[in-house]
A and B are shown apart, each in its own frame.
Chain A
Amino acid sequence: MKLSELSRRNWLKTVGLGLGATAVNLAGIPTQRAQADFVYRENMTTGTLHDGTEAVPCRLEDDKVIRPAKEIPQISETDVLVVGGGPAGCVAAIAAARAGVRVTLVERYGHFGGLATGGLVVHILGHWTMENGEKIQVCQGIGEEMMKRLESLPNGIINRENKRNPTLDAEVYKYLLVEMITEANIDVFLHSWALDAIMDDEPDPETGHPVIRGVVFQTKTGPQAILAKQVIDTTGDGDIFATSGAAYTQRMYTIGLPCRLGNLDQVTPPEGTERPRFLGDPTPVPGVNWVNMGGPDADGCDVRTLSQLELQHRKRIWKQFLDIHATPGYEKVFLMETAPQIGVRITRVIEGVETLTLDDAKAGKKYDDCIGIGGAWGGDHIGWQIPYRALLPKNVENLITAGRSISGEPRMSDVIRVIPNCWVSGHGAGCAAAVAVQNHCIARNVPIETVQRLLLEQKAWLG
């Protein structure tokens, strides 16, 4: 039932029930745990944080803000730490967990899916290529499994037939990711923002590069550290490799804010009405369209820019919506949702051992350490191999990146950044990290044949 269809009686019923339940909770029988929590909060020692550590605030010294040294509690230790629960991160975590290692997945928001769900980029663009006049789906493995499972869920995904570019539903995908991650027994930390990389005090004896040992997260509990043997940076913005000192390029790219419109199936435009421009494209939910947005090229790592753009885009969306609303026949259309997460497309891109270029991709360059095949948006070029070395930073050990931040020239990054390619590179990163843990080697020296075998076992497509 839609909000708009809610009758007064039903509304009263719903609200009444909700109020009733709340009243019971407040007045009656709090659980044992809840009681303990109340006690705990009342008895907080002055000058301590929620995790019991001492509060050490920053200080102003000579007009400079200084953060004093402080020991950070280790909340967890794991084999593979995946930072960022977007399409790449989720697939990486699931792939590593299925390979049989302990995996921890950390996400800054309260849900998985990153831009695909929170950013309302619900369009699966570029998971197939045209070769010899035939459409070939290059995104297989866990990405394909997700699409298949979405298909089995109500209103999960549309346009899967004939290898078109499908559209998924953000809420269904959020749920599916929870289901798959729970199935894989992955340790999950939500609402945790990556703060800093933790580097080993000794560099790797073989390569002489610094070795990453974990990540510190800013949480409501306070800063928390998670130690790991392998770290996968799927933050998209490359927060981990940037803080770990790896070489990277900072790019500016168009930043927008998608939204969803509802009630589009109740539109009755009179003859001759011009269709409003920003109606977007259909989603699996009947009557709901998602409206994408371009935007000015801007630095997606600059907080002031992000804030300004967020304000500007929200104003614009409202104006667009009013325009649609004012069009005869479109009165019932309502603005259903704006994306909780701003649509940053490309920011930091790692300087990998191998750098992908568009010319190589078009020429079909082959790599012996191929961990997946990327697709084309409109069948405009052939499938391109993603080499494992493009995921590895030049000068940090045990850190693998995946998703939009893998090494590529600007024009290539534009191809890399779409969801299926993130699935594919995430899959490769997850398998490689798991193999590195199992073989007790650094990520750079991982036996690539084993990784490729593992990927094939997990039904990935390597060409």
Chain B
Amino acid sequence: MIRQSVRVLLFSLFLFFLLIEMLNEKGCVPAVQNADDRTPFVSIISVLNPVGISGLCSLYATSPLLFFTNLGRLPVWEKILFPGVVVIVFCLFYKRFFCRWICPVGLLQDAGRWLRRKGNHCSCLKCLDKKCPQKKQFPFIGRTFAIVSLAALPVSGLLGMVLWSCFWLDPLALGSMVFRGLPGAGTVAAVLILLLIISPYFWCFSCCPTGAVQDIFYGMNRFLKRRFEKVKNNLGDQKRLTESSFDVDSTGRETTSPNKLMDHRSDRKTVYETGTKENRTRTRRRFFLGAGIGGLIVFTGEYLFHRNVEAGRNRVYFRPPGTVSEDDFLLRCIRCGHCVSRCPTQLIRPVRDSVLLFNTPQLIYDPAFCRDDCNICTEVCPVHVLRPLSLSRKKQVKLARVGVDLKHCRLYYQRECSICRRECPEEAIKFVWSEDEYANIPTVDPDLCNGCGRCVSFCPGEREDSEVLKMQRLNRRNFMDGFDSADHYRKGLFLEPFDKSR
């Protein structure tokens, strides 16, 4: 009862923060903001937010999967303060702590199981615990994912890139994607709910990599404990390990009769908790099987990944500020949509025209641009593919390169304009007099320009002059048009990717 309440509470918190973001001025909390301007909501967030990430992200950060796969990339302070640390510690002693107390999908799973409680299935989530006689076994998809992900970590560290990751399967990432209404959210939600109704266990116990990570750590705890007991046995010349000593939960909650436990254990086929020789062999077999499948998946993943990268290289996307290298980015981004929904100018939009890059954030300039008083996207990324940047650092990050298209620049036609120069927050645009063209030519200083796109957004542009114009008509209309950006206007400035591979 308490557990459900806590979970509902956290779930409500999850929704509550989402609501705040929607209410709170397009969701932007610029780092420079007068204390007076802050709404109470924003103040709450900042109180809840000791490491500079928003409240919602703190909830995110409870996911052990996200913690582990980002271990190498988190700043030191966040390594310690990451709420996932606490959750991991709990997971060591308390099986599937995260699933039971925090996970919103777990809540759904409970609901799904409740719907099917008359069926052949176990009626409690404790079926994961020792006592469930009816626990069904499925191939450990999630575990394979998780093991491969974790195993890839050191390799990734050596190679400096991520080999494989299944972040986006994290229930919080999925939940966020659904609640933020990113493209595909409906499908994900529908599949998940259907799955949970048809087979309440399937997702949580067999697919979910976050659940698997918890299992692994819980199992590690047990494994270590057993080793410890063994050593103790050898040293102390005590009698063989008894069944009951196995099952003393760290919480010391319950002990049951050895016989009953025996029965149940032979039924359970988790990797590390089996004590008998037969089971260990099966475990090994399973492990190699898993490794084989894992390897296959890695190869497939790599193949897809390279296609991903190729796709990314062929159609270059502008990525948000602070983004890690594109290769790294493609696999580590969990597509949660935080940056997308928090961007005050709606510059960051999800990619929709690529299956593999689906929902990764990209920058769609004009009329949107990157505000120079905002670094919210770099602060909200739960997996730090957008590195946390201070305002001044963010201003130095180069998002794109600004080019000048003279044929569509007003100055080239000797029309009065200086909007780009005035709008540039970095004062990177200078007008240089050209005696040959007899016009002032805008030139962009590549050292100062950070590609925020403000100039492009405000460029009034010049008429597209592809056809011979009838001067009669020409004289009846005014090009200036109050600078209305109609279709027939083309901008004098444009953005191009700063560096494709970054």
Contact = CB atoms under 8 A, between A and B. Distances in A.
A222 interface: no
Contact of B414 (A123, A165, A293): A293
A123 B413 contact: no
Nearest to A294: B440
B433 A297 contact: yes
Contact of A377 (B417, B472, B474, B476): B417
Contacts of A167: 478, 480
A246 to B, nearest CB: 27
A411 B421 CA distance: 9
25 contacts: A164-B482, A165-B480, A254-B440, A267-B471, A269-B468, A272-B468, A273-B468, A275-B465, A277-B412, A277-B413, A280-B414, A281-B478, A281-B480, A286-B475, A294-B411, A295-B433, A296-B433, A316-B438, A378-B458, A379-B482, A379-B483, A380-B422, A380-B423, A411-B422, A414-B422
Q: With a 10 A CB-CB cut-off, give which of B419, B468, B471, B477 has the most chain A CB atoms.
A: B471
Contacts, number: 104
Interface stretch (A63-71, A155-163, A364-372, A428-436): A155-163
Interface in A32-83: none
A121 B460 CA distance: 19
A270 B481 CA distance: 27
Given A377-B483, A378-B460, A414-B422, A158 B478 contact: yes
B500 to A, nearest CB: 31
Contacts of A296: 433
A278 B413 contact: yes
Contacts of B475: 264-265, 282, 286-287, 289
B469 A123 contact: no
B478 A264 contact: no
A128 B484 CA distance: 13
A179 interface: no
B187 to A, nearest CB: 34
| Residue among A158, A167, A275, A377 with max Cβ neighbours from chain B (10 Å) | A377
B416 A125 contact: yes
Interface residues of B, number: 35
Given A292-B416, A377-B417, A254 B433 contact: yes
Interface of A: 121, 123, 125, 128, 135, 158-159, 162-165, 167, 254, 256, 264-265, 267, 269-273, 275, 277-278, 280-282, 286-287, 289, 291-297, 316, 320, 358, 377-380, 411, 414-415
Contacts of B498: none
A165 B477 CA distance: 12
A316 B421 CA distance: 26
Contacts of B481: 159, 164-165
- Most chain B beta-carbon contacts within 10 A, residue among A264, A286, A358, A378: A378
Contact of A275 (B418, B422, B469, B480): B469
Interface string B416-459: 11110111000000010100001110000000000000000010
Contacts of B480: 123, 125, 159, 164-165, 167, 281
Contacts of A270: 468
Contacts of A411: 421-422
Q: Is the interface of B mostly helix, strand, loop or mixed?
A: mixed
Given A271-B468, A275-B468, A291 B414 contact: yes
Given A164-B478, A294-B433, A294-B440, A281 B469 contact: no
Given A159-B478, A164-B482, A267-B471, A378 B414 contact: no
Interface in B63-89: none
B415 interface: yes
Ranked 8 nearest A-B pairs via Cβ: A164-B482, A378-B483, A267-B471, A296-B433, A294-B440, A380-B458, A159-B478, A282-B475
Given A265-B471, A295-B433, A378 B478 contact: no
Secondary structure at the A interface, as helix, strand, loop or mixed, is loop
A163 B482 contact: yes
B479 interface: yes
B419 A281 contact: no
A289 B475 CA distance: 8
B432 to A, nearest CB: 10
A256 B476 CA distance: 26
Contacts of A292: 414-416
Contacts of B439: 294
B472 A265 contact: yes
A293 B480 CA distance: 15
Contacts of A291: 414
Contacts of A320: 438
A286 B476 CA distance: 8
Given A163-B482, A281-B478, A294-B440, A358 B433 contact: no
Contacts of A125: 416, 480
B431 A254 contact: yes
A123 B416 contact: yes
Contacts of B477: 282
A164 B478 CA distance: 9
A40 B347 CA distance: 78
Contacts of A264: 471, 474-475
Contacts of B460: 377-378
Contacts of B440: 254, 294-295
Contacts of B416: 121, 123, 125, 292
Contacts of A269: 468, 471
B483 A282 contact: no
B414 A294 contact: yes
Nearest to B478: A159
Interface in B158-206: none
A270 B446 CA distance: 42
**Residue among B414, B421, B460 with most chain A CB within 10 A:** B414
Nearest to B472: A265
